[in-house]
Structures are given as structure tokens and as C-alpha cells.
Amino acid sequence: MKNIKICIGSSCHLKGAEEVIEAFQKLIKEYNLENEIELYASFCLNNCTDGVSVMRWDEKILSVCSKNARDVFDREIVPYI
């Protein structure tokens, strides 16, 4: 099981962290990755100006939003599972 952490610190919260979480939850279901990926909410990842910040395994992906969530998931997550 691999972990993805989505920052829900105040800055990322204001930038739509909840929507990113919802989008990733849907994508995990859509791709049948429930047994591969676990989603977590995280405290501030120290990249507040570039939020929403996401931690894929041990690397950060920055500037995620509800509009690019699918692209980010396809490009930055699916190939690395």
C-alpha cells in the first residue's frame, strides 16, 4: 500500500484541498486502486505558496487543484504505482 498525503493546512484548505481529496478519492475508485493507494490528510507541508501540496510516497507535487487533479493523477501518480 502506498500513501498519498494531501495538505489540509490553512493555506491549502483555502486553495481547495477538500476538492482535491474528493477528486483523488474518485480517481482511486475509477482506476480500482483501492488496494494500492491510501489517501491521508496532512498538516502543512511547508509549500504554502504553491498549494495545494500533495505528497506522493516521499516526493512533493505542488500546485494541485480540482481542475488539474485528473491530469496530475494520470501523470504523476498512476505511472509510479
Minimum CB–partner distance for residue 12 and ligand FES (Å): 3
When binding is defined by CB under 6 A, the residue of 20, 51, 54, 69 that contacts ligand FES is 51
Is 44 a residue that touches ligand FES (CB under 6 A)?
yes
Residue 31: all three cell numbers together: 482506476
The residue whose grid cell reads 516521499 is 58
When binding is defined by CB under 6 A, the residue of 53, 61, 69, 72 that contacts ligand FES is 53
Among the listed ranges 18-26, 27-35, 39-47, 69-77, the one in contact with ligand FES (CB under 6 A) is 39-47
